[in-house]
Amino acid sequence: LIDEYQDTNAAQYFMTKLLVGERNNIFVVGDPDQSIYSWRGANIGNILNFERDYPGAKIIRLEQNYRSRCNILQAANELISYNEGRYEKSLWSERGEGEPIKQFLAYDEREEAQFVTRVIHKHYSEGTPYREMVLFYRTNAQSRPLEDQLLHNGIPYIIYGGISFYQRKEIKDILAFLRMVYSGADFVSFARTINLPKRGIGDTSLEKIRQEAFLAGMPIFDWCCELIKGTVQPQVLRPTKKLLTGLSEYIDIIQRLRKVCYEESLSHLVMTTIQSSGYFEVLKQDPDSYEDRKENLDELISKAIEWEQNSENASLGDFLEELSLKSSMDVEGSDRDRVCLMTLHNGKGLEFSVTCIVGMEEDLLPHANSRNDSRALEEERRLCYVGMTRAKDQLYFTHAETRYIWGSPRFQRPSRFIREVPAQYRQKIRDV
């Protein structure tokens, strides 16, 4: 007996064949329409070829759904029918027709986040607990504007299966670089960034540098500058050529970024810090997480642009103070009653009264990686299907006309998945 057979990989498939042998005594449960984990080795072919592998197998279709309203299920049925690699089935429910899917077009990601915040306010005021509401997105980076608006409006939330945007390592790393640009006295930021990328300056040397700066009564960065110039005489540190070379490289980066800070906009500084600090070398050391972390850094640039547009004095100091507050904020709420934020991949097996799928745009959902790959596109459609069928009562699609990509606004096209849901199952709205 095997559950979630659509998620089995090659090793599990062959192990199953060996266990079953020639008796063909096997019972599996699975749904090809929910096969969304190919990126971690799952092979949808295992379930689609089940009848070939086990001739005479009996297929039992479980089509009654006990979770969702009929309108949601009919819309999901229509969407997934565009896939070729599947078993034909049609979900139905006795829970009543329900309301149409609400579709909202925002100007940009900030307006989109403001809208879903109003959706949450509306349903909470009508008696829906926060824990019964979810915001689904395709990529982790999309959580940033949503988190900002939820924090601003005092709505408790939890990142399900992930980390809050401002607590992600790459965000904290770049903010540490920016703190060094702003103030050379921040030893914590200095220690965090000096080996990004690696310069071979160990913990013992760092502690001795801290002691030297303290004894000299100087900010840590200023003391390092004087050491390179040869104008200070170390008392406890015995600088090697390797250490001096590493410090010199680091000082040059920070000084160049300070020049950018003085001459250019805040968003340009953030972008230059990401691109010129050598941080991409750090990200490339982990190819599996590279794209995800790169998207998060892109979203940090978008945050800087948003800050510039909505702040009278878009200074680096104020920006860092704002983000420091956000990273430490935790809106009070019971441990259980919080709005859930999560990627669509993390939503499998869950259910919510109110479900919002944000970023329903081409190159987001479906993801850009599926452009020229029909099998990848079908998996993106299954991912959307999984998100839709998490909804019990209310389902919202949101998409934006523009999004900032590496500092520049880009016109976005609505997702084909919206068009694939017939108009009779969805309703365009201007507000809640």
pLDDT of residue 329: 67
Per-residue pLDDT, averaged over 343-355, amounts to 96
Predicted pLDDT of residue 332? 55
CA distance 210 to 214: 6
- Under a CB-based contact definition with an 8 Å cutoff, are residues 176 and 192 in contact? yes
Q: Is the pLDDT of residue 327 over 90?
A: no
Decide if 104 contacts 115 (C-beta within 8 A).
yes
Confidence of residue 21 (pLDDT cuts 50, 70, 90): confident
Q: What is the pLDDT of residues 247-276, one digit of tens each?
A: 999 999 999 999 999 999 999 999 999 999
Name the band, by pLDDT with cuts 50, 70 and 90, for residue 350.
very high
Residue matched to tokens 């579709």: 103
pLDDT band of 334, cuts 50, 70, 90:
low
**pLDDT greater than 60 at residue 146:** yes
Of the given ranges (32-41, 177-186, 306-315), which has the lowest mean pLDDT? 306-315
Q: How far apart are CA 192 and CA 10, in angstroms?
A: 41
Is the pLDDT at 331 greater than 60? The verdict is no
Asked if residue 340 has pLDDT above 70, the reply is: yes
pLDDT digits (tens, 9 = 90+) for 357-396: 999 999 999 999 999 999 999 999 999 999 999 999 999 9
Query: Beta strand 408-411 with 402-405: parallel, antiparallel or unpaired?
Result: antiparallel
| Domains, the chain, ordered by start | 5-53 (no CATH), 70-156+333-429 (3.40.50.300), 169-326 (1.10.486.10)
What proportion of the chain, given as a percentage, has pLDDT over 90? 89
Give the per-residue pLDDT at 335. 66
pLDDT digits (tens, 9 = 90+) for 270-293: 999 999 999 998 999 999 899 999
pLDDT over threshold 80, residue 188: yes
pLDDT at 40 over 90: no
> Quick one: pLDDT band at residue 203, thresholds 50, 70, 90?
very high
Work out the pLDDT band at 330, boundaries 50, 70, 90. Answer: low
- Between CA 133 and CA 128 the distance in angstroms is 8
pTM for this predicted structure:
0.89
The average confidence (pLDDT) of the chain is 94
Is the pLDDT at 175 greater than 80, yes or no?
Answer: yes
So what's the pLDDT on residue 59?
94
State residue 333's pLDDT score: 55
How many CB atoms are located within 10 Å of the residue 388 CB? 25
Q: What is the pLDDT of residue 428?
A: 96
